[in-house]
Every structure is written in structure tokens, then in C-alpha cells.
Structure 1
Amino acid sequence: MLSDQSATTVRATLPAVGAAIGEITARFYAGLFSAHPELLRDLFNRGNQAAGTQRQALAGSIAAFATHLVDQPERRPDAMLGRIAHKHASLGIAPEQYAIVHEHLFAAIAEVLGEAVTPEVAAAWDEVYWLMANALIAIEKRLYEESADEAGWRQWEVTERITETADVVTFRLRPVDGGPVRDFRAGQYVSVGVTLPDGARQIRQYSLSGAPGTDVRQISVKRVPEDATTPEGEVSNHLHARVAEGSVLELSAPYGDLVLDQVTDTPLLLASAGIGVTPMVAMLAHLAEGGHRAPVTVVHADRTPADHALRTDHEAYAAKLPDAAVHLFYERDAEPGTRTGLLDLSDVPVPSGTRAYLCGPLPFMRAARAQLIAKGVVPADIHYEVFGPDLWLAG
């Protein structure tokens, strides 16, 4: 909770800081990488930096956190903090790195706002930063402790490589050391670290697409070609081109907060688009294994049936549930029993009390969320996963 004096100062300066936050974060990253080039080479996603999406996500999270502190001082934004902390833990972020970020972030604020950053303003925003940083450090400490049996990076051998579609490959992996494998919760992801041809070690997160409760890790990776709006997927394309059966990859422990609660009698809706299907398949496998008996509505949207990765598993696990309905939307080449076009929930039955889980491109999730709210789903019961920086907060 902010002190009263700092809350007054932050409230008064929030419009100015918010208006300049994009420039502040751009200068922050420039200064950070100039002083610590190894962070861009070996930790931060170079593609997101080039596209500017990481700057947008950082700006959005800072603005959202500060706004929450002054508007709802009695409540901490745990959902936002938890999402960030899980990503940080999957990357192995250490507490001492927050001091480095603080140094370069406040240097950027001073550069951009100049004389407006009085000692009082600096102190207030310093308080905001450390409230957020210390909350994240505490959550990350707990996450590291919970995964202590598989903490840090571990080597895994690819035992199977399966072509799902023209652009999606599934890798099944077992630990090289032959040791025990910690179970994961359906919906979680792992970080994968690879050394690229230029020597950089880049890290990306991939949802676990296999069933929980096995000693195998399974990830399904979509190749990402460069286009006008999206940088080439350095790691995904590397995995497609260079990783075969027998290859060894470095994986983190499982992390991620888009997870199913214990199997209950709650109606569920699992909506995905494109490669967002991956956590949903794991969720369906978990529900089928746990004997979930309440209604489950499965919704998926894709370009064509041929682009629908893991479709066999997607439909097979749904078929094992006693009360599941599957609705498939394809932009082209729709088959009998599926629909042509983008997601449209207008005539999809959604039982009262439904809890929804969404994963896919941000425009898809915004549309799905709006349609679900219009159908009476409580906003607090709609959960989502974003692949890459969380631009929802920046929007």
C-alpha cells in the first residue's frame, strides 16, 4: 500500500508519466542493453524487442499497477502480479536483477521528464517500483521453492518428433539424467533455452500440450515466418529446422497461472484459436482423466481444418467426457459439422455459472470475452493466456 503522501503525488503525476511511458520504456531498454548487452543476447526476446511489444507490455504493467495503487489501495492486483511472476520464474529471474532494472528505469524517467522529476516525485515513483518489485520477488521465491525438485535448467532429450500440420511440430522429451519428473498442472508452460547460430542463447515459453501425470514433457511448436507485423520466430524456426529425435534441449520447470482448479461440477468453456489449442488439449486430458461430469464447451477457431494442430487429441479427449460439446470454426474449407468464418458464440449454448479459459491471438480473446460477457458469463470467471508479452494490459 502506498503511503498517503506518495499516493497523492502519484495520482497527480500519473497522467504525465502515462503519456510519456512509451518513451520512458524505450530509453530504459536502450540504456539497459547498452550497459548489459548480455541480457539482450541471452535473456530478453530479441524479436519482441525489435517489434516493440515488450516495451508496450512493460509500459502497460507499470501504468496498470500504479493506477491500481491509487484507485484501489486496499487491494493488490494479484492476478497481474502472478502472471508476471510466473513468466519471470520460467526465465530464472533473480532478486538482484530488480536493482539493475530500477537503476536504468529511473534514469530513463529522469531523462524524459526532466525537471518535472522533483525529489518528491522521484520518491513516490520509487515507492511504486519497489512495491511492485518486492511483491514479484516474494511470489517468485515461492514459485522457486515449489519447484525446488526441478529448479533451474535441466537437459531433456527429444524422443519423438511428430509433424502435426505444415507449420506445427510436436516434440516429446524425457530427462537426460533419468531422474523423476515433476507433474504439472494442465495449462502450464515450460521455457525452452536454445543456442542460436550467432551464439545467442534465447528463451521462449511453450505450453505443455500432453496429458499431465506422465514422465514425458510434450510441447507443440508453431513455425513463425516474418511478415509485416510479426518478426520471425527465432527459436520456433530453429526448433523446426534443427531439432530432431535424439537432440537435447534445456527446459525450465513448469510455470503458468492459466490452470484448471480441482475437477468440480462447474461448467467449463475452453476456447482457443490457432496454436492456442495447446494448453486446451492438456486441460481436456486432465478433465477426462479426472472424470469431470459437468458440461464442457469446447470452441476452436483456425484458418482451415488442415491448420488445426492436435485436432485428433482435441476431439478425442472431448469425446471421453460425458457432457461435452465441440464447436469448430474455420475461415476456409469448413467440413460438415464445422462452421465457416470467425468465432461466433451467438448460438453456442453457454450454461449458467460457466468458467471460461481462453488462449489465442489477442483479437480472438477480446472477441471471445466480449461475446461471453454478453451471454452472461461473469468477467471474473474468464481467464486467459497470452503467448508473448501481455499486451492486454497495454491496451
Structure 2
Amino acid sequence: MANVQYKNLPFQEAIDYFKQKIILPSETWHDFQSEMHARAFTVAGAVKTDLLADLYKEVLKGVKDGVSIQEFRKNFDSIVKKYGWNYNGNRNWRTGVIFNTNMTVAYAVGRYKQMTDPDVLAAFPYWRYRTMDDNRVRPQHRAWNNIVLRYDDPWWDGHYPPRDFGCRCEVQNLSGKDVERLKAKEAVQTTAPDDGTYNWRNPTTGAIEEIPNGVGPGWNYNLGESAWGKPMAESAMSEWQAGANNWERLITDNYEDYGRPETIPLSATDTTPGIIAANKAEIKQIIEKVIGGQEKTYFYPAGDFTYSMVVNAEVLGEHLSADRSPFLVYLPEALENPYEIWLSAEKNTATGKVALRQRIIKGFDIGKGKGMLIVFQTLDGYMEAWTSIYMSDLKYLNNQRQGKLIWQES
């Protein structure tokens, strides 16, 4: 893979994007559905927590500080030696894939954020597909050079670059006058082409995906849209928010697929509900008391990998209503020994933005043949919400037991 130059990096949008990624282990790059890569940092074959975390830190230096691939390779060698990692491929190829792919995507996603700023769109509503115009450009990508379409043309959903590993194509934003001047000088295509599709079978899931010709497997989504969401008119967003089922789950496996019990078991507890908080400040004080400080990280070992979740009193307190506050006393018991943890990748049905949420499930025996079922939900590794429900029907929360089962009570 050729080295890529990033003269405009670092810039804040690319840094913000890369920092929001969640470190997730994977045996292969296709373990996660296309859009999930917008939120997850994965390196095929890197399943140890510390190994993956160290690789992430080194790539972040490239995005944030502009370090070169040569520097990355030096540190890569040290990491490999430290963990005894037997990776596939030769050193230069593998480091190129890891470093250049992440840098290219961070740059493209950062540019998407800049170009979809409302003020920028008002002045420059047209996008132009551009290649590097050399002998390493893919033939199909070369055919897309100088396609000029409005930013909201559906063609960009499947063709916003990069479109494959090693793709160096970019998008240039233009004003209406820019487009007219360009037409006077060059051959410009202003209608979306129909290049056909091909079918690809995901070797991990077995699912058959229809992909536009010229787009690599796993790249058939708009990276910027998945990271930030596409721009919407305020009226359209309000109409969407009033509807139901606003998030589509990208992973539909459930407890049955993993051979888990249909009924969530109940754990004995001597804890009883606390007081109802009078305001947000009191809710945050209760959280700080039960977790022993402003913030606490909970760890869940799963083989070579350890998942983590952060409880921050300020963040969680803002999302909780007062009627939930009496049950905060159960938080340590539930988080220190959960029954299951599910990773759910969800796509916003209006904007296309993708979120990775973890749902932590626990059941408590409260006597009299009833149980209390608790679901904690995290977004980008931070707890953002939770639900506690008194239930005699212990199957009530089974619809939350969906996605990728990443931890289970032994």
C-alpha cells in the first residue's frame, strides 16, 4: 500500500472523530458490519485489550500530531515485540493498512463534517469527485473523476470516498459559479452514473450484500454520514423525531442465537430503594456516593479482551429523572456482576448516523415472586441511561438482549 501524505492534518474534526471510536477486538475486518467501522477501532487479528489500545494510541498520534508512517512503524515494532503478536502479512504492508486506512478515513470524515456545516453548504452546495490522476487510480474510480452533484444526491451515499483500501480519492466542495467555470474548462458529469452492482458474501456472517461496482466489500456506506449524520432541514428533523422506531439495529442476533436462557435469572440482594432526589444536583450526589467519586470505570474481562464502561456522575445525572433516583443504590451490585452485556450497533433512520451502545442487563430478586430487571445503556463507552422495572414476567426485557453478546455471567 502506498504511503499517504496528510498536509492538512491535524485538524479538529478528524481528531474529534477518531477520539470517539471504541476499541473493539476482531478476528477479521469483516467481523463488524460496514457502518460499525465508523464507531469502532479494530485491527484484524488483534484481540488483546492492551495490544489494541497501544495500536490505537499510535494511530491517534498520526491524526492528532501528524507523525509519519515511519515513526508509526518504529513504535509498531515495539508493540509487536511487547505482546508477541503474530500478525498476517509483511511489516510494511500491514503497517500501511493500519496507519494509512485510519488516516485516510479520519481525513475524509473530518472533511465531511466541514463541508456539511450549514453555512458551508449554503455557499458550496455541490460536491466534485476527484482522483489522484495517476496510474494507481482504479479504473472505475477514474471514471468517476469530475462527477459533480449536489451534496444531497443519493449517489454520495454509496460513493463518498474512500471507496476501498488504499483509495486516495477526495471530494471538493463547489459553489454554483465554481461549477459553471469548471464546465467551461473541463468535461464535467452532472448526473449520477448507474454502474451496476455485484453480490458479495460476508465470510464472517454469511450474509449476501449488494455493493456498487467499484466499491470494495465493507466500504459500501457513507463514512461521514455514519460518523456525524447527514444534514437535515429543521422541519424534517422535527417530523422524524415525532415518529417511532428512530433507530435501526444493524446486528439482529439475540439470546436464542447465543444459546442463552429465555428467562433472566434473579440474584439475591439485601439492598432496598433509596430516597427520591429533589433535583439534578441531588441525583448527581447520589451517583457519586454509590460509585465512590465523580467517575468510575468498570471492567469486564472476556478472554484476551477486557471491555470497559465509564459511569460519570455529571453525564448520567443529566440523563436521569428523579423517579429513577431511588434505584441508584443498586448500581454497584449490577455493574460489578452483570448477567449479560450486549453490543448494539444502531443506525439513525433519518440521518444515517451510527451509534455503538452497550446494554448491561441484571435481574434482582425482591421477594413475593417478583423481580426487578435493570438495563444500563452506554453510548461511546459512557453510561447515558438506565431502566429499572418491577416485573413478574422475566422475559420482558428479552428484546434488549440483541446484538453481539460480548460478556456473560459464567
TM-score, with normalisation over the residues of structure 1?
Answer: 0.25
More helix by share: 1
Q: Which structure has the greater CA radius of gyration?
A: 2
TM-score (norm 2): 0.25
